[in-house]
């Protein structure tokens, strides 16, 4: 197969993937279709060439490394325009309760539903169920405590959705706390 054709197949795989696609998934797909052994080194080289192609000013998308894989995303210059369309189309937004639950899971994972409810102070059955349905969280086994409650953690889709490579990229509380949320006078 001509090398240019490999790049087109890789580009098609990344473009058609809803979530980020890993090098291993690309190799598997190519090996399955062409009955050849494609080395990961070749795939890395082709991905580098695709990245360079989409880094040009006249392209509206870019190839981004997310969650140990690759995904095409709109360049930041166009985010506001695309965001308006997404806001217009999104009828199934996450509720405030679901966002709170998701934040708790992201920062404290793995975590049980009881621990989530202790932090929030209210029942979180519905929020946890909605997050599972949207595949933003996943079940991570069972805790070794009495009753063996289910443990929850964020999913790969969560990482893609929020544009993270790993959880250390989550904002730290010191980065998001605002003075307007403070009580009393600041200490000198």
Domain boundaries, the chain: 3-79, 96-177
pTM above 0.85, yes or no: no
C-alpha pair distances (Å), 19 with each of 16, 74, 101, 124, 162: 9, 14, 22, 27, 12
Q: Which residue has the higher pLDDT, 171 or 152?
A: 152
Q: Considering Cα of 159, then 161, then 162, then 165, what sign does the dihedral take?
A: positive
Name which residue leads in pLDDT, 174 or 67: 67
pLDDT band at 160 (very low <50, low <70, confident <90, very high): confident
Give the pLDDT band (50/70/90) at residue 151.
Answer: very high
Please, are residues 108 and 152 in contact by the beta-carbon 8 Å criterion? no
pLDDT (tens digit, 9 = 90+) per residue, 119-146?
A: 999 999 999 999 998 889 999 999 999 9
For domain 96-177, the CATH architecture is Orthogonal Bundle (1.10)
Q: For 68-102, how does the pLDDT look when each residue is reduced to its tens digit (9 = 90+)? A: 999 999 999 998 998 888 766 655 678 899 999 99
Q: In what order do the strands lie in the sheet with 137-142?
A: 111-112, 150-154, 137-142
Fold agreement between 3-79 and 96-177: yes
Domain 3-79 sits in CATH 1.20.1270.10: no
Per-residue H/E/C for the chain: CCHHHHHHHHHHHHHHCCCCECHHHHHHHHHHHHCCCCCHHHHHHHHHHHHHHHCCCCCCEEEEEECCEEEEEECHHHHHHHHHHHHHHCCCCCCHHHHHHHHHHHHHCCEEHHHHHHHHCCCCHHHHHHHHHCCCEEEEEECCCCCCCEEEEECHHHHHHCCCCCHHHCCCHHHHCCHHHCCCCCCC
Mean pLDDT of 160-188: 71
pLDDT for 41 equals 93
Which pLDDT belongs to residue 107?
94
The pLDDT value given to residue 67:
87
Contacts of 44 (CB under 8 A, 6+ apart): 23
> Residue 62: beta bridge partners?
73
Q: What does the pLDDT read at residue 1? A: 57
Whole-number pLDDT of residue 164: 86
Mean pLDDT computed over every residue of the chain? 88
Q: What confidence category does residue 3 fall into, taking pLDDT thresholds of 50, 70 and 90? A: low
């Amino acid at each position: 197969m001509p090398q240019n054709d490999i790049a087109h197949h890789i580009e098609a795989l990344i473009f058609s993937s809803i979530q980020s696609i890993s090098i291993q998934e690309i190799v598997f797909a190519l090996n399955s279709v062409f009955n050849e052994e494609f080395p990961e080194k070749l795939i890395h080289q082709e991905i580098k060439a695709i990245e360079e192609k989409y880094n040009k000013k006249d392209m509206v998308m870019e190839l981004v490394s997310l969650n140990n894989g690759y995904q095409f995303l709109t360049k930041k210059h166009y985010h506001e325009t695309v965001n308006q369309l997404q806001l217009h189309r999104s009828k199934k937004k996450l509720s405030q309760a679901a966002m709170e639950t998701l934040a708790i899971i992201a920062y404290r994972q793995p975590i049980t539903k009881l621990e989530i409810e202790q932090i929030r102070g209210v029942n979180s059955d519905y929020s946890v169920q909605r997050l599972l349905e949207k595949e933003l969280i996943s079940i991570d086994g069972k805790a070794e405590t009495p009753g063996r409650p289910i443990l929850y953690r964020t999913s790969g889709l969560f990482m893609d959705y929020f544009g993270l490579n790993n959880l250390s990229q989550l904002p730290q509380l010191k980065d998001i706390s605002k003075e307007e949320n403070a009580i009393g006078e600041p200490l000198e």
